[in-house]
Structure 1
């Protein structure tokens, strides 16, 4: 835990507080979670109950029915699990901007310490910075983002090969410390329920009410999941109601675990051969759940190891290659590389470059140079943001990818690369292309606003890639992709039929 725990302020620990508060803002799950583990340890240390506080605010960019519902579905799973485990859980969905702002301060007043998630992206670092000195309690940050701790990297890794080599050198040691898959129930954790009610499994809201003053709960009532998910509760919140919930991707830890099991049982065997083919559905579909913390990369990696009956002595010496290190089946090797290299290099970028991870300044020198050289090249087509958003280009395949994003909140991995390359090809500048990619991905994508997705968008313009030849108009030495080539290589008929309109 040493490389994963930091303190955001200098306030003292208060052993005489009423509870330990876990402010759950990124890793929204009750298992495989280093922050939850640390909060439990603190509660046991002080002999005080644990209060899990999971809020959802209104004032975040691109807030919509789609994103809100996905998070609230995860809250409902957490509430159900909290009831099973007998732990106090307080879900709060802000009804209007600013209504919930004082709530953290109120809860922190009685806390021994406040434990929260460290997350190196979007508005969360700014939010931590804004509250750290204002709340009247110690604020402890815990990194549960990846299998390798954010602070274990010594530099920004500019290409996959260098990150992969670093990962391979350090991964076995990191795997010796994993989050607890079943931290709750914990017999050593003091219960917030009165002694005479221990024979009955109390509702988590009742447990929370034993710790939180009634006037606080009256002013900031816990989330009503029946109204929010089965009624019209979300429609009353001032967010974007035109971006509808995903019809194919529910949120929550239950759905995330189901998808992982389905992938390992039915898709892993063909992952290596079929993952790039949109018609074959050979990927996990878990990037939204990873983004919102409904599943842990540790859980995913451990399930692969169990499936492959892998043990650490099977690993080879670090070689920086995307195969031959783990000595498992080829599809499992490919999947581990996606999770441990391509996902986590994005977190390395965001953590090491908090001011530029989403900007053109983060591109390697060769990419900046070649894009400057081609800045005035004539584009074959020019489209506006509105035309892109409404899938009104000349390219049937690109339009299908955009419709998939808008309709489902997801996009096939290969199609997302092509989608980004053509946005760059059909806009006036790299900056305009970047702005459009970020807006569309963050507005519609359930896995947007994430270090991994920002890194993928900047990959379109050369990040974590190398110079390619021959040089081409507009792209220069940046990797070139075409819809014609994709049509020749990929199985697309069903995909095009599904997203034709």
Structure 2
């Protein structure tokens, strides 16, 4: 797609709007068979766990209406690429309970659970889809996940479509893999005005689909193990749950769309205007806290962007300012068409730093491997591969905050006990792991292991963007050349203690120990 074709016209401010149909750029045909009229439409909700603002759900409803389907069937599972711990299961199950309540009249038309085996699940899904008009699945850029969908398409005896609700820009219109945030930002700013007019339907499913009569005795879905999940969450010992990691307990924070929207509403009302100046200070608690909710797909980035522009209009800070900007100013690094600085900074995090991770995963099979790092970064880190380390810690010591660095311990404690880590401290957290690991390769492995095990937003492209940035991705060489780091950007605890407001943060997390 040409960048200029869909770029903003002169004196035209981007206005969010809703498309009448799912854009073709968001649909990938996995199995090319005709839609069979008069049969149920099946949607496997495996990534985007929401009943509104969801292009995949919109597409399932489009097909159901067009082929006069008697039923819409919904199967909900965790994503196949999700690290499966009790913590992640609880957080996801909150969304399932919301959906079960909203779809209480559906009976067996709605099934949710956690498969023991993806091979077994796919087999059951193939059997169910053989009776359906079409099967809709969530698109995602991970190579292994797309391979799984392709295997499903090879075996399914109906049309299979993967629908992309990942970001504001469809994955299919990304022109290439970007090595810098600056280059990707320019593309987003050029293309976004067009795609803001192509938003998913905001209405809840219950307002859009009235054919809720259960299928009844027709066994479209064979006997499954997901019924064991409520027993699992209740702590039952009668179920064999060996395939789930019990060592990572749940957190207090609730999952689901209701909790996500409550957090977002509060952030819009009280924090976003000062996000640019406060977000790096842990004591300010100025971040949105939405990363885990976006990862589980219980809130849509499309809805967040719509609300940001609406708020800017209410503040009277869009229309007049935008028309006064020069063409150069409209495409300045983070101006975002003259939005207030707090809103613009958050939009930059959401649209550039979040979606550049999807961009990388879409083009690079080994998106989290050592070989995926920039050549200059691998070269300089390899040069200093054998430099003496001031300290070395085992993965277990790091996991339990057992280092001599009080601030690092606090950040790891926040991650281990609350499933999150402050955005700025995540960078320092990773830099110190590099300094304390025998090799840069082992440092990368440790960061990914700790993040995916404990973080609610683990296994996410955005997480891997942050982790790999620590080792040079999307960055440049920095002088002077240092031991261990070479020319990879250096960060120190002493510098962070000078620059950041940390008193309350250290009181909250600094005294806890991991045992």
TM-score normalized with structure 2 length: 0.87
2:379 is the alignment partner of 1:369: yes
Tell me the residue number matched to 1:50.
Answer: 72
C-alpha deviation, 1:231, in angstroms: 5.9
Change (3 A) 1:38 1:468: same
**Alpha-carbon separation, structure 1, partners of 2:345 and 2:115:** 43
Contact kept? 2:380, 2:486, Cα under 8 Å: yes
C-alpha deviation, 1:488, in angstroms: 0.6
Tell me the residue number matched to 2:498.
Answer: 488
Q: Secondary structure in 1 aligned to 2:498?
A: helix
Q: Secondary structure in 1 aligned to 2:24?
A: coil
Q: Which moved more, 1:462-471 or 1:226-235?
A: 226-235
Contact kept? 1:122, 1:449, Cα under 8 Å: no
C-alpha deviation, 1:192, in angstroms: 4.3
**Paired positions, count:** 479
Gaps of 5+ in 2: 1-22
Tell me the residue number matched to 1:271.
Answer: 275
2:337 is the alignment partner of 1:323: no
C-alpha deviation, 1:347, in angstroms: 0.6
**Alpha-carbon separation, structure 1, partners of 2:228 and 2:307:** 34
**CA displacement, residues 177-232 of structure 1 (integer Å, 9 cap, x when unaligned):** 01111153456x56141xxxxxxxxxxxxx3x43x724846x22764776455564
Change (3 A) 1:61 1:292: closer
Tell me the residue number matched to 1:250.
Answer: 254
Question: Following superposition of structure 1 onto structure 2, how do residues 93-108 of structure 1 map, counting pairs within 5 Å?
Answer: 93-94=113-114, 96-97=116-117, 100-108=121-129
2:110 is the alignment partner of 1:90: yes
Tell me the residue number matched to 1:124.
Answer: 145
Question: Following superposition of structure 1 onto structure 2, how do residues 455-494 of structure 1 map, counting pairs within 5 Å?
Answer: 455-494=465-504
**Alpha-carbon separation, structure 1, partners of 2:181 and 2:480:** 22
Q: Which moved more, 1:386-395 or 1:229-238?
A: 229-238
**Alpha-carbon separation, structure 1, partners of 2:450 and 2:286:** 25
Aligned with residue 8 of structure 1, among 27, 30, 42: 30
Question: Following superposition of structure 1 onto structure 2, how do residues 88-487 of structure 1 map, counting pairs within 5 Å?
Answer: 89-94=109-114, 96-97=116-117, 100-121=121-142, 124-182=145-203, 184-185=205-206, 189=209, 191-193=211-213, 207=214, 209-210=215-216, 213-214=218-219, 216=221, 219-220=223-224, 223=227, 227=231, 229=233, 232=236, 237-238=241-242, 239-247=244-252, 249-309=253-313, 314=322, 317=327, 321-353=332-364, 355-487=365-497
2:127 is the alignment partner of 1:81: no
**Alpha-carbon separation, structure 1, partners of 2:344 and 2:220:** 54
C-alpha deviation, 1:121, in angstroms: 2.7
Q: Which moved more, 1:266-275 or 1:337-346?
A: 266-275
Tell me the residue number matched to 1:202.
Answer: none
Q: Secondary structure in 2 aligned to 1:14?
A: coil
Contact kept? 2:255, 2:293, Cα under 8 Å: yes
Change (3 A) 1:426 1:168: same
Change (3 A) 1:88 1:276: farther
Change (3 A) 1:75 1:233: farther
Tell me the residue number matched to 1:204.
Answer: none
Change (3 A) 1:214 1:131: closer
Change (3 A) 1:228 1:305: farther
C-alpha deviation, 1:369, in angstroms: 2.0
C-alpha deviation, 1:126, in angstroms: 3.6
Q: Secondary structure in 2 aligned to 1:250?
A: coil
C-alpha deviation, 1:324, in angstroms: 2.0
**Alpha-carbon separation, structure 2, partners of 1:134 and 1:266:** 51
Change (3 A) 1:409 1:11: same
C-alpha deviation, 1:236, in angstroms: 5.4
Tell me the residue number matched to 1:200.
Answer: none
**CA displacement, residues 341-365 of structure 1 (integer Å, 9 cap, x when unaligned):** 1101111000111x22111222222
Change (3 A) 1:107 1:214: closer
C-alpha deviation, 1:162, in angstroms: 0.5
Change (3 A) 1:233 1:348: farther
Q: Which moved more, 1:362-371 or 1:59-68?
A: 59-68
Gaps of 5+ in 1: 194-206
TM-score normalized with structure 1 length: 0.89
Q: Say what the alpha-carbon RMSD is for the aligned residues.
A: 2.5
Change (3 A) 1:228 1:112: same
Question: Following superposition of structure 1 onto structure 2, how do residues 28-39 of structure 1 map, counting pairs within 5 Å?
Answer: 28-39=49-60
**CA displacement, residues 98-128 of structure 1 (integer Å, 9 cap, x when unaligned):** 6645321222021100011101138532421
Q: Secondary structure in 2 aligned to 1:308?
A: helix
**CA displacement, residues 29-59 of structure 1 (integer Å, 9 cap, x when unaligned):** 01111111111100001011211211248x8
Q: Secondary structure in 2 aligned to 1:111?
A: coil
